[in-house]
Structure 1
Amino acid sequence: MIFRWKHCLVLSIFFAIAFSLSVGFSQVLSAPNPSNIYVWEIPTWMPKPIIPTDNPMTAEKVELGRHLFYEKRLSVNNKFSCASCHIQALAFTDGKPLAVGATGEQHPRNSMSLANIAYNSVLTWAHPGMKKLEAQALVPMFGEHPVEMGLSGKEQEILKMLQEDKNYQKLFAVAFGRGDSNINLKNLTQALASFQRSLISVNSSYDKYRYGKDKNAISASAKRGETLFNSERLECFHCHGGLNFSDSVKHERSAFEEIAFHNTGLYNIDGKGGYPGNNTGIYEITKKPDDMGKFKAPTLRNIDLTAPYMHDGSIATLEEVIDHYAAGGRTITNGKFSGVGSQNPLKSNFVSGFKLSPQEKHDLIEFLKSLTDEEFVTNSAFSDPNIAVN
């Protein structure tokens, strides 16, 4: 599932599909057995995510969702799954500048990491209204602009496939109750959302150092990098702070829901702050001139594994990302996107530029690399149930 914006009208159609397929089934849905309450395997310093009351976590739903996440038959060509764009070894990204759907169509946005997606107050790169994983799941499955899974018009076909599969009969039964009526689109999206919420990453070297009190868990260079990261001189922490290194976050200890979008001076194609027409940020939704080029600041957890960077994958390395922010915005000298990003009038005040010595740049990168959670990207509980993680 690729987390990016789609037209609100299309979403409305999807919600109508989901509702129509689930009407009449609500009476037979089995409530989770109290003994099946999900146990979060997270340290005490990390708060629990906020879970929708209409989709409580259970181990059975998570396991069903895991199978569905890796299920290639949930695509128009039976060759593509959610995991095609969200690969565990890459912290559930795909390593491509721009994602490619089941039909080979290239998308305008980069595949976002799913690490700690349960803590996100808003989903996708630039859609202020997309807040529930259950609703978002409909977009990659049935969206047509661009095509991702390519299932538009095939709702009954995929349900029939699941209803006839003996393994899915069993998995749906233990998660939602027996009977074909419980193998429906609503329960499918609830299971997918449950699996995604289980993708918790809190065991990096930095976590062991900062919260586990292991003074030797990260290098002296990374410690210096942490100081730089949290300094007013660089101002990184304003948009990438807190437990999840993002300023769009919610959890059980939150005083309020944090949602933020930023223009980082990545483009300035008309001298007035303009971004490429297919990637204008939340302006595409709000149509407010000041929202041009505003995108969500993603988590920096596992950032060393999720290259290339930015919403359009247009920056290849961490070194280049730092150069971009050090310059206070990117300068593109030629081509249709040429412009001086540091002069973008809509740019965030936090992207003001700074100077780093070679050693300081190295230290900052070492800190960012310390956010890698090796256990997360090898955890068999998150892997394809039919293929062991190497």
Structure 2
Amino acid sequence: MRLCNGWRRFLLCLPLIFFLPHILSVFELHQDSTIENLHKRQTKKFDHLVLGPAAGEGLQDRLQCQGIKALNRTHYSASSEHSNLGESIAFVTVFAAYGSNTDRLLSGGSEHLVTVGNVSYNKVERSMAILNVFINFIQVTMPQSNIIILTDPASKLPVHRNRVTVYPIKGEYSRDKLMLQRIRSYIVFLEARLKEQSQRQGRINHYIFTDSDVAVVDDLGQIFSNYPNFDVALTFRNNKDQPLNSGFIAVRGTSYGIQRAMVFLQEVLKVYISKYMKASRMLGDQLALAWIVKSHPSVDAKRFTRPRAFLEEIGGVSVLFLPCTLYNWTPPEGAGQFHGMPLDVKVVHFKGSRKRLMLESWNFLSSSPSGISDMLCLILSSGRTKYDF
């Protein structure tokens, strides 16, 4: 350094040399703090809908919105449930209400209530509201379908709706074991259906197992007619570690289909218990599904990067892979959110903090002349915001 030639100038520069790293460190700390505060502001949960720009503007075959008004229309299918005589569809979900008495005590005060529209909910009531909206969407888009709720025999679910059955199955429904219990409940349920199937002459009842925080926004009967050769259908996304989502599993209701679905789910359960019990509270079933599928030599993992349905035989079971972008579209996760919402989306999955958005969407649909397309604009414009559920 020319400015510091000679001892005199060196001594003058010495304090600067000593304090410069400290100054830079303070600057970096301040910068990190600013970024952290910005992140906190972005992840703050809201108690009302926050509308933003709808992703996918100008992209072909994507929903185009002006505010919450759809500029084009989704490819809504006419009901196909009567197209195959003697075939029907039942939706199956696992639902558990945790510590009802404790939750009511904890949420008794107004500070613990959450208000959506004109209704205030405590913790237990929120879960029941989500379950009822799940039923509402199915009864609008697929009114001839039955809905079956698998639950703990100790739960007394106050669900009294047409075409809705509460089906108790013994098991461990604690929060830490619910995902494990869900697979077990599916297997027990299918085993009972297999026994009934032998008594049904010519009548087939297909099953779609879903989480209860999904909205079915189009008829799903076309899965079974358009893809007649599958036993089990799963949804996939472009995610290297977790390419499969367990929130949507379809099973063909023939004897062979049910048998093979049971074999497949039993293998999932076996891998789950042996490899992923540390993830039993969440994700264990998805990790087990991914392990089974990716370890099969015929499966090309690159196919999960392209949103096109494909069929593979895995352990003697014909598995149909359906893209999440259509059959399990999630507002806050995955690359699909940046590319908007496909016009032919069938299922919207309100994961995590999007539960308020699910209730708000139903309120919007049921209280205004706007149709499903406008409601989807509401979801698309609000989906990246975290809410208070």
Richer in helix (by share): 2
Richer in strand (by share): 2
What TM-score, normalized by structure 1, do the two folds share? 0.22
Q: Which has the higher contact order (CA 8 A, sep 6+)?
A: 2
What TM-score, normalized by structure 2, do the two folds share? 0.22
